[in-house]
């Protein structure tokens, strides 16, 4: 199982440069991409082949951990999330950064 750190890569003027956004906005954005918690206020958000781990009670969200549980499906989901939300992903084992430019 691969684990990545999720960080902001592009900073629109309305967003804090050191965060991914408020917890509510992160959850709302990911919900639109078929990724959400199985309980209200949960710290783990589940998506196809992936799961995000949010720090408990952290708002705004500075970073998240992303576990890839299904390599076949997960990478397509990560690419879509990266392009849509303009986030970058860093592999914690290698330090390699994945960034997906938007089209």
Structure confidence by residue, pLDDT tens digits, 23-50: 999 999 999 999 999 888 889 999 999 9
Strands (E), 1-103: 2-8, 36-37, 44-47, 50-53, 64-68, 87-91, 97-99
CATH architecture of 2-97: 2-Layer Sandwich (3.30)
- For helices 23-31 and 71-85, give the axis angle rounded to 10 degrees: 120
Q: Would the pTM count as exceeding 0.75?
A: yes
Q: What percent of the chain has pLDDT over 90?
A: 63
């Amino acid at each position: 199982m691969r684990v990545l750190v999720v960080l902001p890569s592009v900073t629109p003027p309305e967003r804090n440069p050191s965060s991914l956004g408020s917890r509510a906005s992160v959850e709302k954005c990911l919900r639109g991409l078929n990724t959400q918690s199985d309980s209200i206020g949960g710290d783990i958000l589940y998506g196809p082949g992936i799961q995000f781990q949010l720090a408990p009670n952290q708002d705004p969200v500075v970073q998240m951990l992303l576990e890839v549980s299904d390599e076949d499906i997960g990478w397509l989901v990560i690419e879509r999330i990266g392009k849509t939300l303009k986030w970058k992903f860093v592999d914690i084992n290698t330090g390699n950064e994945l960034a997906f430019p938007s089209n």
